[in-house]
Chain A
């Protein structure tokens, strides 16, 4: 059976042009980038070239980019590192209720360390109101952390507006940009953020590489301890093959962004229009307007999302409902709950995230499978 992949927000395949740049770094340019000799220098050159490529994609100054093991480490380093570097008697952090677990759990960790955390709530649009962030700020607020694009809804958050609030008050502002990179233009200077997290495997680079951009002068304590790598901010032998792949993927993303955005918007609209036309009692979750091109979150009232994911997978279509818990079972989505969806509808929702491999034919086949599966599931639950 053929399997089609509609879960690009979970991860993406490594693109051929990315793989090509990475392979020589495994067996040929294998030096430790911190070594002073020939082999080390060759690796260091590759590493710094990659850092420049990635910096170009987000309009950053290359030395301000810290390479990490992925998005989670970047988010952890930003949230824990900045909050722990704060010197006041009390510490307060502002975040939102729709953040990724990499930020949510780091905030919970800060609470165990005595910090106060305010989680700004969102309405049905899935877009945070800057005014709500402003109201949450306190005199002892040491960090604001808000995601750029929500991973489940695809909604784009008003980062520049929030940044105006934090800059006025000189509060460091972290943006989790993992789901924005490669899906929309990102310019950290224009956004006015102070820290920005990205991840390689969401943009056709391999798993295991990410980065945190930190504006020069932002106080940040390390969260791991070891050597002097990454300007004393992130110890550990540099992952040169990963970084090189990330750099190549960034360059590729910059080149393809406009055309791929237009193509994915058309595909996404085709998918949504067909669903809304053919499947009764279905609809889009979150704002239809303020979102990236590739993500569609749809509810099908009266069905069990977990059953639909399995039924579709057995038909060859891999989709997601959002988060998986540690056993691999599906956990109720904190994002859909946060935007006010009733439990029933939150459990009846599905995320489709499109990417490079998807075609019109695949989307049409997905709609056929969806229509059949949703009808089957509704028939069963009517009898149960």
Chain B
């Protein structure tokens, strides 16, 4: 362990005001590192006032309460602290693509976009700017330098229930080289205990939501409010609900309100449970079917980024995860003529392979890489 102050370049910690990143800042400061706390202001919640629930917004990203908490922790552990404004970049690289993807009939993963474009890009640059050498975040994941291959590898964390590697498949070698995930070897309860033992004010704070800028997970309401505010009306979105054999079963209010695998809110009476099989923004049709119609054996992934291996020149067996809550399933990943495009063939068909979601390739704890489902 280095002597206090022995590391000349400080570490910039991305502090959200939650318990995880607060613990990271406190741990590093305690280890004697020079630490700078930075909170990214990503989204102005007051922009879409219709979305704020009665009694005000709570427990959402970038709320003033979160900034208050982060500032208080920074004060407690005695580190310089600043809020940096990335609202412009966040809207351009996360929110707009999120909206566009839904309008195009896909199911986006904004947390991955945010990691790729904001946290490990603009934030890293901000860290550079203020003289920090490394950045640290409260992600549950592990980074390891592999001597034989000379590559930084990404691994699932010790606490698999908190695994966030699904959202981190886009990290480059240069980004990994400068990133610390100090929570990778800890369980969430150990992190809370640690925060409590250090007397951090946020030790018992609740967990944050998955998509920070979408209140209550109601992405359809967010899309409507955002499109209204930006004046980028999506035109007519209502259309028909059809079965696989082309029968019209009913009508819906907006094609962007449906995602592959969705069961609730179809408004169609049927003997067996119906699921959204696919959506087509052009014809505004939502195709539904029974659970068997959701099963899919193979798909293509584009924009593939390799992390723990340099690339793929022959098929490889891996476990592939197709959404955050999915238990990675055995599959063969096959290279195509395009090095950024892979074919994935599951050993057994999987439910709800949704275009726009990420497919991340694992071998045990090792994250090989990942891409976007076509």
Contact = CB atoms under 8 A, between A and B. Distances in A.
Given A306-B84, A310-B82, 20 more contacts: A304-B126, A306-B85, A310-B126, A310-B130, A311-B129, A313-B82, A314-B131, A325-B44, A326-B64, A327-B39, A327-B62, A327-B83, A328-B71, A328-B83, A329-B39, A330-B85, A331-B85, A376-B129, A380-B129, A384-B125
A2 interface: no
A329 to B, nearest CB: 4
Contacts of A42: none
Interface string B64-75: 100100010000
A338 interface: no
Contacts of A380: 125, 128-129
B41 interface: yes
B106 to A, nearest CB: 29
Interface string A370-384: 000000110011001
B36 A329 contact: no
Nearest to A307: B129
Given A325-B85, A327-B62, A310 B67 contact: no
Contacts of A377: 129
By size class, the interface of chain A is: 20 to 34
A381 B128 CA distance: 10
Given A310-B84, A313-B80, A314-B36, A329 B129 contact: no
Given A314-B36, A376-B129, A329 B80 contact: no
Interface string B108-150: 0000000000000000011011110000000000000000000
> Which of A307, A308, A313, A327 has the most B CB atoms < 10 Å from its CB?
A327
A311 B85 contact: no
Interface secondary structure of B, over-half rule: mixed
Interface in B130-182: 130-131
B130 A311 contact: yes
A314 B129 contact: no
A120 B84 CA distance: 31
Nearest to B10: A314
Contact of A327 (B64, B130, B131): B64
A332 B89 CA distance: 13
A79 to B, nearest CB: 22
A377 B125 CA distance: 9
A311 B131 contact: yes
Contacts of B62: 327
Interface string A332-352: 100000000000000000000
A314 B80 CA distance: 8
Contacts of A376: 129, 131
Interface in A176-217: none
A108 to B, nearest CB: 14
Interface in B172-217: none
B23 to A, nearest CB: 22
Nearest to B44: A325
B92 to A, nearest CB: 12
Contacts of A331: 85
Contacts of A304: 126, 129
A296 to B, nearest CB: 22
Nearest to A377: B129
A307 B130 contact: yes
A301 to B, nearest CB: 15
A277 B88 CA distance: 33
Most chain A C-beta atoms within 10 Å of own C-beta, residue among B36, B85, B129? B129
14 contacts: A306-B85, A307-B130, A310-B129, A311-B131, A314-B130, A327-B39, A328-B82, A329-B83, A329-B84, A330-B85, A331-B85, A376-B131, A377-B129, A384-B125
A380 B36 CA distance: 18
Contacts of A381: 125
Contacts of B126: 304, 306-307, 310
Contacts of B67: 327-328
Q: Which 3 residue pairs of A and B lie closest in terms of their CB atoms, listed nearest first?
A: A307-B129, A329-B85, A329-B41
Interface in A289-315: 304, 306-308, 310-311, 313-314
A380 B71 CA distance: 27
Interface string B329-362: 0000000000000000000000000000000000
Interface string B36-80: 100101001000000000000000001010010001000000001
Contacts of A327: 39, 41, 62, 64, 67, 83
B224 to A, nearest CB: 24
Contacts of B41: 325, 327, 329
Nearest to A309: B82
Contacts of B131: 311, 314, 376
Interface string B83-103: 111001000000000000000
Contacts of A384: 125
Contacts of B88: 332
B308 to A, nearest CB: 25
A73 to B, nearest CB: 23
Contacts of B82: 310, 313, 328
Nearest to B40: A329
Nearest to B129: A307
Nearest to A381: B125
A17 to B, nearest CB: 32
Nearest to A303: B129
Contacts of A306: 84-85, 126
Nearest to A384: B125
Nearest to A328: B83
